[in-house]
Chain A
């Protein structure tokens, strides 16, 4: 039978389950007999990790595995947290340092993570060769070219259609020129911009125009922001096109009838100026400005119309001639749209 001193000597190994069968039997016998040693045994067993009677990493690992599981996972968590610029609190920081003092995989990992923490942000950028920027600018400039020359079939056909429409409207004696002209302008802006929600619906646009620019903006509703944004950017390009076409068609109509042209010239001059104003107002999305310009243009158009039609005989002759041209330029089926005024 072992005495208390002998038993104490075996205590650590006994708790760790490392004794030979013989020693263990002896220790168990003493434990059953001796209340003091039984008490000591309970204390040691309870506080095994804290007391840390021996500095044995392997043993610690085994105990941890049987109790809380591997602490490395928690250490990884803290290492990553530290990498995310999150300051660890003093306790975490201290515990992590203590763990790494004993765990070489975590120490290596910490070094590798720190290395990645420095390396990865540097990899956000790769400086390309010197010619790169110029190549990009060339490529994007080509897009601009394409945008400026409307090669899109839809765009082309709309402009063709508008041209024909303008000529036809112009030739109809009692048509309100004001409405026609304004409709044209707004039609181009609404149907000619590739992103316009109305690009496939000219009749709807035409109907909208009767309500004036305020109604127009209101009707665009939730899409207004997109339309406004794009319109701002493209209005000037589109505007120069529609303007050219309108002016061009007017000039082609009147080139061989110089007298009339001279007579309408002042009013025409005014009209062109107010048209430019409208263009700017549309580009700036300046609704009051649009209203004012439209009003002015209405007056200009009336005087143009008045001056132009003073000599009915000539007008009738010209109209017969131009009706022929107009009909050939007119796309099939577009007539019905224009009959409603």
Chain B
């Protein structure tokens, strides 16, 4: 269904339209939240909060053509707020408050973790060695596929800077993945499970 129409229905209070919208975007929102907090329980709560925020601001979306960028912006703000809140609170021992950019090892993967495959785990782990802004650019550009202009707008930096940073970030991530995956060999593809 076309986003403009769907958005209009949601604004008019059509619950079916809203349900459809939630289903359509939930896996993206969950991925964004997870990338920021690296923890399934936290990401789940956060993703729910993000949808509440989206629901409350449906009237404010001026450009349905850029709906994805708009909801990801809301998601990002919610994640940053969440990380700020965590920082100002004493850490709870049952939740590793490692956030997006810490080098803390997540430990063994629980059974109900959203992220179980080794490919994703490898990338998330590699991203922890990177700067915050480079992580965000990887998330926004390479994972979510947003336009350079949209990212520039979101991060408040010039488009040219996003582009050059994106290049640096990808090289940095490639090297970090290589460093984690051991120094040897070109059979990396096989070991990580791609053809």
Contact = CB atoms under 8 A, between A and B. Distances in A.
Interface stretch (B10-18, B85-93, B99-107, B153-161): B10-18
Contacts of A123: 31, 35, 120, 123, 143
Contacts of B186: 107-108, 111
B1 interface: no
Interface string B77-89: 0000000000000
Contact of A116 (B11, B114, B173): B173
Interface in A103-141: 107-109, 111-113, 115-129, 132-133, 135-137, 139-141
Nearest to A118: B194
Contacts of A83: 170
A233 B55 contact: no
Interface residues of A, number: 41
Interface in A164-202: 195
A76 B169 CA distance: 12
Contact of A135 (B13, B15, B34, B48): B48
A226 interface: yes
Listed residue (B27, B43, B56) with the most chain A CB atoms within 10 angstroms of its CB: B27
Given A76-B171, A108-B186, A226-B59, A124 B28 contact: yes
Contacts of A126: 27, 30-31, 34, 43, 114-115
A238 B101 CA distance: 47
Contact of A115 (B11, B167, B189): B189
Contacts of A76: 167, 171
Contact of B52 (A122, A128, A133, A143): A143
Nearest to B188: A111
Contact of B48 (A113, A124, A139, A229): A139
B188 A112 contact: yes
A143 B48 CA distance: 13
B6 interface: no
B119 interface: yes
Nearest to B167: A80
Contacts of B114: 126-129
8 contacts: A112-B188, A119-B119, A122-B119, A125-B31, A128-B26, A132-B47, A132-B48, A136-B47
Given A115-B189, A119-B123, A125-B30, 17 more contacts: A112-B178, A115-B188, A115-B192, A116-B170, A116-B174, A118-B194, A124-B31, A124-B145, A125-B31, A126-B30, A126-B115, A127-B114, A129-B112, A132-B30, A136-B26, A232-B12, A233-B59
Closest 7 CB pairs of A and B: A125-B27, A120-B142, A112-B174, A126-B31, A140-B55, A126-B30, A136-B51
